[in-house]
Structures are given as C-alpha cells and as structure tokens.
Amino acid sequence: MLFRVRSFCIAMKRYEIPLFLILILSLLLLAGMPVCGLQAQNISANPKDDTSSIEQRNTRIFYENLQKKAWKNMFYTELHHLFLISVDTSHHVKMPEESHLRFLSFKGKRIRSINFISLYVFGTSVNDTTRKYSTWIEDMANKTHIYTRSSELRKLLLQKEGDEINPYLLAENEHIIRSLPFIRDVRFMILPDSQDPYFVDLVILTQDVYSLGLTCQSSNLNSTKLGIYNINLWGIGHRQSNMFVIDPLKKEQIRYVEGHYRVENIDKLFMSGELFYINYPDNKSIGFDLGRKFFTSDTKWAGGLSFSNNTQCMTDNDITLMNSRYNLFNSWLGYSLPFHKIKTDTTYHNSLVTTFSIDKIQYDYRNIVNQTDYLNAKNRTVLISGLSYTSNAYYRDNLLFGFGSSEDIPYGKLMGVQVGYSFEEMHERTYLDAYYSGGNRINNFGYINFSVETGGFFQSGNFVDGILKSKLSIASQLYTHGDRHYRHYINFAYTRGININGTEKIIINDKYGIQGLKSQTLTGTQKLCMNIESVMFSPIYVLGFRFSPFGFFDVGFIGPEQKSILSQQMYSGLGIGIRIKNEHLVFGTFQLRLAYYPLEPDRANRFSFDVANIAAANYSDFTVKKPQVITFD
C-alpha cells in the first residue's frame, strides 16, 4: 500500500500533473466522455438473465480495457488503484415483478435445509457472486468488518426446516431482512433436489453494509458536533451511537450530548427496543421505546410502549420564553384478523385491524417567562381507537429510490377511521378522522401512490382544528439509453386547515414544498405544491460512490383557508444537482444542488447552492401503524 502511494507521488512529480487534473478526469468519467482512448459501449439488459446480463458484460469490458490501458503508465496505474474500481453488478436493471412470484413454482415443496452465505461488503453482490473486484482499501474494509451472525438472521426466519414453501412468507421474509439498517441486500434462492423433487434447499445470500459511521457538522464558527456510531455491534444487529460537541473556547471543551442504544428482534419476538439519553444545554431527555410492528400480513399482534423525561428551555431569537420539565408517555396495541382472497394461483392477503392507544404529556414544572400566541404547554391525555382494512404486498425492483440494490416497492391499500377523546386542562373534546391510501404499478407507465386523510375535534358542537391532507406521487418506468438509466417523478400535495383555533401555520420551505426554499415569511393555513424531477442513474462510480445527476422544478401556493389556493401568489424553484451515494457504507446520500427562486421574498440573490446529507426516500407501505392525531405539516 505504501509503495503504491509513494509511486503515485513520484508519478505526479515526474509528469508535473496538477491535482485538478484528477478532478477533471473524474468529471469526464461521470459525463461518459472518452478517457484513455476508450468509450463505454451502448448496452441493453436481458431481463431473463438475473446474474450475468449483457449490460454487465459490456460494462466489465469497459473497465477491463481501462485497467489494461492504465497499467501501461505509472500515473494512470496508481490513479486506477486509488480512485477506480470495477463495475458493481448490482447496478444492472431488474425487471419489476411481484416479490412472491419467484417462489410460486416451489409452492408446497418441503424445505430440507436452510443455509446462509454472507458475502463481502465490497467487491461483489447478491446478484452476481462470481465478481470479486475491489481496491486495496475495500479489501482492508472487508477484513476488518464484523459480519452479521447467521444465528441472528436465523431468528428472523418465518419458515423453518421441514415447512412447506409459502411464496408469500418467503417474499415477506426477504423484505424483513432487507429492511434491516445493517443489511445492504438479501436474496433467497431455492435449489431443487435432483434425487427427490419433493424437497428443496433454501440458500440465503446476505450482504452487509459497513457498519461503522462518522458524522461531523459545525453549528457555528467555534462549535462542532461529532458523532460516532456502529449499527451492527459484534454482528448481532445492535446499534450504538454517540454524539459529542467540541468547543475549544468553553471550559468544558468536549461535551457528551447524545447516546442511543437500539436492539432489533428482542428474544425472537420481532420487537425492537431503544434506550436514549440527550444532554444539550436547552434540551435534556432520557427514556426508552419498545415497539412491534405488523411485520407480515399474518401478524396477529402489534404494539408499543415509550416513555421519556424531558427538561426544556424554549427560546425565540435568544429570548427565553419558558422553562419546563415534563414526561411523555405513549402506549398502543393492535390486533389483526387476517383473511385471504383467492384469485387464480395467487393469494392476496387482507386484514381487519383494531387499534387502541394512550398518548399523554404531563408537566411537572412550567415557568412561562414571556407569553406568546403559539406557546401551548398544557397537560393532555388523548385516547384513540381505530378500525382499519389493509392489503399490503411488494414489487421487487431497483433504481427507483436507491442506487442499484434491490428495493421493495409496496402496493395495496389501507383505509380506516379513528375516534378518540382528548382530556385537556381547559376543556375536553372528541376526535374523529378517516383516511385512505393506495398504490400499485401500471405496466409500461410506472408506480403510482396516493393518500387522503382528514380529521379534527368536536368542541361545543363545532368542528375545530380540522386538517385535510392529500398526496399523489408518480414514478415513471425506467428508461434506458446506452448504459444510462432515467426516471421521472411527479408529486402533488395539498394541505388545508379547517377552523384552526390556535396560531398553527404551515410552510412551503424545503422538504415541506419547494426544495431549498428558506423563506421565513411564507406561512399560511392552506398550501398546494407540485414537484417534478428527472434523475439519471450513471454507471460510473469512484471509490464505490454512485452518481445521480438530477434536475427539478417546484411550484407552490400558500395562503389562508378562506380564499381559493389558486388565487394566491405562485412561488417556484428550479435547478440541477447531483446525488452521491455508496450503498456499501452506512452513510446517507450526499447532495449538491444549485437552484434559482424567481420570487422568494427573503432572498436578495435568487440563486442558492446547497450541500447536505439527505435521508433515503421511499413509499410508505400499507400496514397499520401506531394511532395518532393527524398532524398539520
């Protein structure tokens, strides 16, 4: 390793090649321009070949030729070793299909054995285990990583040796394992027994993400927040994270401010638990959270219990408004009555679900220093009971929200009603809401996902503090041009307050409407937003990082509920950017975005450039979750 670095430096000096040429070379690769006299070939995927498509073979040829060319020159050799790695075969296009269909032909056969194969974090994939390309950095990471123990994964299995194959259970089992934060991808493979066709062997391929992570952000010129975490301690799936604030100018130069410890699947119950501790000067908290979801369509019981003790100093522009100490308590329980609807050779899983929850906030101490209109610190207990109908399953696809790994795209529907009662200090009132959501894939079009929800309180015979929310999301099918893939996304969202008694407002800033908008004056009780985005999934990557250039156009209206939303001033934003992600690492997606805002009132310069980490996007599934009052956002 030291020899390569030393040789690279000698080459830099010998050829007098400045550092910026390395950046130019990387940009040329990203743009797909010829490098070293080579050009990536146009390729097309063969959907019938799941492990070695034409696209993979041609892309490999490109990288292998680049490697041969690089070895003829010392500088390019070291550049190749340090910056480029071979194609990750998980990036090839999968044909969308219902998750259970791959197992349908084995329905009724009996499982003789179950074996786990844990792949290296870097250099291979569950779609093509024959490829083992990696750099020396990745080799070192592969050797230092503690892999998930097969005994822990076995606890997550819904079918055991001796059971008959249930295609739906296997598909749901894949989703359960793939959704774990420390698993990059998983693939269930069924191997028939040539001697006895009644038996099959189940082989489960898993690939971890590199579990160690580091975060760093500056809150001001002197203070820096540093976080260190591991999402797969000792290979048993436990998560432990720590956050520190470093400020050399203060007496306590290093301060421990956050700690979290989370365990998945406690005692094989599919229940997760977390302990947390927060210790900022104006916000202190300690508590726990236990929860069990409706993790399959046949799960009968779900629920949760959480508690936290909090101390808070609320401020506004450095003016203290209130000091308080309070406890938060939440408990909920859900029971599902599954029933199955037969259609051709497929079983559609549907359930009726009843839920009940208690949500409570109790103040031990309140000292209001400066009263404001929006200060609302009252003891409250809310009881909610609900009845829902749910139907939920998944498509298996990729390059929708991720960068190449398999993705589970939910389809189905969820509808229900909730009734409740709120005990508050000054009054009591009844709560009622109703909701409906659905989603599916349309052939030769793409995915569609929509939801509508409305709810509010009845007080003295009047409907108050009501909210109406609706959303429509469309993701196009995947378009391919040469070795590049494209998708287009359209989102519509409408929110409206109904007879709002308090001073609650909604905004259209950033994730609430127009990307990157930072205005503090655009508030109201009604808004309509539309987002259009086009994304290119590039096959080029450096040090394992994928690049996805994108362009967007956002439009938003905001104003009071009494007027038509389309009569309000239209605000917009448009721009371009690039998202960078290494799916082998635990880190989030890194985004660079250049945007123009024609009518933002708080910005003299209409252009903005943002650099940020963004959370992974996805469609919400159609399972019943913890009951709660509808939120105004």
pLDDT grade for 533, boundaries at 50, 70 and 90: very high
- d(C-alpha 240, C-alpha 262), whole Å: 7
Burial (CB < 10 A; 0-12, 13-18, 19+), residue 281, is exposed
Does residue 9 carry a pLDDT above 70?
A: no
The H-or-E segment that residue 143 falls in is helix 136-144
Greatest alpha-carbon span in the chain:
85
Cα end-to-end distance, the chain, whole Å: 52
> For position 77, what pLDDT does the model report?
53
Structural contact between residues 569 and 161, judged by C-beta atoms closer than 8 angstroms? no
> For position 93, what pLDDT does the model report?
64
Q: Token pair for residue 92?
A: 């090839």
Does residue 10 carry a pLDDT above 50?
A: no
pLDDT grade for 607, boundaries at 50, 70 and 90: confident
605 against 235, higher pLDDT: 235
Question: Which residues are within 8 A (CB) of 336 and not within 5 positions of it... i.e. 6 or more apart?
Answer: 294, 299, 300, 301, 302, 351, 352, 353, 390, 624
In the block, which residue shows the tokens 């690939």? Answer: 207
Question: Which residues are within 8 A (CB) of 352 and not within 5 positions of it... i.e. 6 or more apart?
Answer: 336, 337, 339, 387, 388, 389
> For position 222, what pLDDT does the model report?
76
Task: Tell which CATH classification among 3.10.20.310, 3.40.50.620, 3.40.225.10, 1.10.3450.40 matches the domain 97-208.
Answer: 3.10.20.310
Give 299-308 pLDDT, tens digit per residue. 999 999 999 9
Give 273-304 pLDDT, tens digit per residue. 999 999 998 999 999 999 999 998 889 999 99
> For position 8, what pLDDT does the model report?
39
> For position 20, what pLDDT does the model report?
36
Does residue 16 carry a pLDDT above 70?
A: no
Does residue 383 carry a pLDDT above 90?
A: yes
Q: How many C-alpha atoms does 8 have within 13 Å on its Cβ side? A: 17
How many Cβ atoms from other residues are within 10 Å of residue 47's Cβ? Answer: 13
> For position 72, what pLDDT does the model report?
55
> For position 33, what pLDDT does the model report?
34
> For position 603, what pLDDT does the model report?
67
> For position 207, what pLDDT does the model report?
94
- Residues for the chain: how many in total? 633
Backbone angles phi, psi at 33, to 5 degrees: -80, 160
452 against 21, higher pLDDT: 452
Q: Token pair for residue 305?
A: 């219990």
- d(C-alpha 229, C-alpha 182), whole Å: 12
> For position 29, what pLDDT does the model report?
36
> What average pLDDT does the chain have?
83
Highest-scoring range by mean pLDDT, 219-223, 586-590, 598-602: 586-590
> For position 395, what pLDDT does the model report?
93
Among 139-143, 306-310, 368-372, the minimum mean pLDDT is found in 368-372
Backbone angles phi, psi at 247, to 5 degrees: -140, 100
> For position 345, what pLDDT does the model report?
44
> For position 64, what pLDDT does the model report?
56
Give 48-67 pLDDT, tens digit per residue. 344 444 445 555 555 555 55
Give 170-208 pLDDT, tens digit per residue. 999 999 999 999 999 999 999 998 788 899 999 999 999
Which of 442-449's residues contact partners 24+ apart within 8 Å by CB, and which partners? 444/477, 445/476, 445/477, 446/474, 446/475, 446/476, 446/477, 446/487, 447/395, 447/400, 447/409, 447/473, 447/474, 447/475, 447/619, 448/472, 448/473, 448/474, 448/475, 449/473, 449/474, 449/619, 449/620
Assign residue 466 a region (left: φ > 0; alpha: ψ between -120 and 50; beta: otherwise): beta
- d(C-alpha 171, C-alpha 269), whole Å: 19
Does residue 413 carry a pLDDT above 80?
A: yes
Distances (CA, A) of 579 to 401, 537, 582, 611, 612: 11, 10, 10, 10, 10
Where exactly are the structural domains of the chain? 2-84, 97-208, 291-377, 379-633
